């Protein structure tokens, strides 16, 4: 995902494109944004979803967990987080 292109519904990857969704998830670093891994995990557990950063953090952590767990669970989280 090109950081100079505005984030809109039309620029989000399609949920069936696992590689694109994973690449998109990695364009946000929740650890850096929230200041630590602990703070990022705490924010994700709250599922506030009141800001784009909250939503992207959840996807970032789901994608990292999927990479470590060798699964595609992050795709379900992505679908859950997509606007209707």
How far apart, in whole angstroms, are the C-alpha atoms of residue 16 and residue 11? Answer: 14
Instruction: Give the rounded percent of residues in the chain with a pLDDT score beyond 70.
Output: 94
48 or 30, which is more confident: 30
CA distances in angstroms from 83 to 12, 51, 78, listed in the order given: 10, 13, 10
pLDDT by residue (tens digit) across 6-47?
888 888 999 999 999 999 999 999 999 999 999 999 999 999
Asked if pLDDT for residue 72 goes beyond 80, the answer is yes
Q: How many residues does the chain have?
A: 84
Please state the domain extents for the chain.
Answer: 16-81
Give the global pTM.
0.88
């Amino acid at each position: 995902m090109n950081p100079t292109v505005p984030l809109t519904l039309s620029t989000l990857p399609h949920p069936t494109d696992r590689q694109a969704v994973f690449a998109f998830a990695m364009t946000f670093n929740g650890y850096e944004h929230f200041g630590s891994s602990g703070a990022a995990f705490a924010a994700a557990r709250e599922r506030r979803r009141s800001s784009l950063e909250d939503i992207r953090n959840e996807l970032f952590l789901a994608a990292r967990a999927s990479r470590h767990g060798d699964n595609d669970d992050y795709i379900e989280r992505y679908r859950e987080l997509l606007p209707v």
